[in-house]
Amino acid sequence: MNLHSVVIVLTYFAVAECNTVSDISRTHCPNTKASINAIRKRRHLTFPAGSNAVITISLAKTFMTHIPSGWYMTTDLNVMYPLPDPEFTLAHSRRKLHHRQKKDLWENLQNAIDLHNYNGRACVLRSICEAKMLLAPPGKSLIHDLLRAVFTSSLFEKEFQEEIGDSYPELFDPKVCDIFHDCPISLIQIALAFNKPKNKLV
């Protein structure tokens, strides 16, 4: 048998083996007996345990004096929010957990604002009401979508009523947004102000 015949025979067996492996891989994983279509799972974004996102608000005010000049008084407000770790991802399918996380965030914001002698509860309620009026339609802006996810109240969901109904019963009043809230700052407008494009200097 010459070299040309050997190459043809080897090529034939190689093609036959590739076709067999291709047929098997379409339906089964080599290391399991289950179908790949049956074991395909959703993919979720997870972070290392202990990771947190921090929302920082800084307020600066100049000293009303001539001397010294250029001095500022600053106040910083930091709110930490835990990012989803592997344990959170496993429980991601539970809708009730989403409302619980939202309630925790609202309470953290409320407590942080209370520390600065403002009505934190009123500021949270004001933000929830402003989210219905000031935000762009879904899909137009990532910042708007994030604010909507944080400050949207799903009043008609049973899980939302069970988790947040006792903490924020005002939300179930149809006229809650028509009532003046004792909050001089707008968290929504502050967040949107950072999203505006800066004017370029000519």
Q: Is 176 helix (H, G, I), strand (E, B) or coil?
A: helix
Rounded-to-integer distance, Cα 170 and Cα 124, Å: 11
Claim to verify: residue 135 and residue 172 sit in the same structural domain: yes
Q: Is residue 66 part of a domain?
A: yes
Question: How would residue 190 be classed by pLDDT, with cut points 50, 70 and 90?
Answer: confident
Claim to verify: residue 28 and residue 53 sit in the same structural domain: no
Q: Contact 153/171 with Cβ under 8 angstroms? A: yes
* Final residue of a structural domain among 30, 59, 84: 84
Claim to verify: residue 57 and residue 125 sit in the same structural domain: no
Task: Give, to the nearest 10 degrees, the angle between helix 95-114 and helix 120-134.
Answer: 120
Angle at 27 between CA 44 and CA 10, to 5 degrees: 120
pLDDT at residue 200, as a whole number:
53
Claim to verify: residue 189 and residue 137 sit in the same structural domain: yes
pLDDT of 139 > 60? The answer is: yes
DSSP bridge pairs for 28: 35
pLDDT at residue 71, as a whole number:
80
Domain count, the chain: 3
Claim to verify: residue 20 and residue 108 sit in the same structural domain: no
DSSP bridge pairs for 124: none
Q: What is the pTM of this model?
A: 0.52
Neighbouring C-alpha atoms within 13 Å toward the C-beta of 156: 1
Claim to verify: residue 76 and residue 18 sit in the same structural domain: no
pLDDT at residue 15, as a whole number:
47
Claim to verify: residue 158 and residue 70 sit in the same structural domain: no
Residue 140 lies in domain: 94-195
pLDDT at residue 25, as a whole number:
46
Rounded-to-integer distance, Cα 99 and Cα 49, Å: 21
Q: Contact 120/57 with Cβ under 8 angstroms? A: no
Claim to verify: residue 35 and residue 49 sit in the same structural domain: no
pLDDT at residue 20, as a whole number:
47
Claim to verify: residue 71 and residue 145 sit in the same structural domain: no
Question: Which residue has 């069970």 as its token pair?
Answer: 162
Question: How would residue 198 be classed by pLDDT, with cut points 50, 70 and 90?
Answer: low
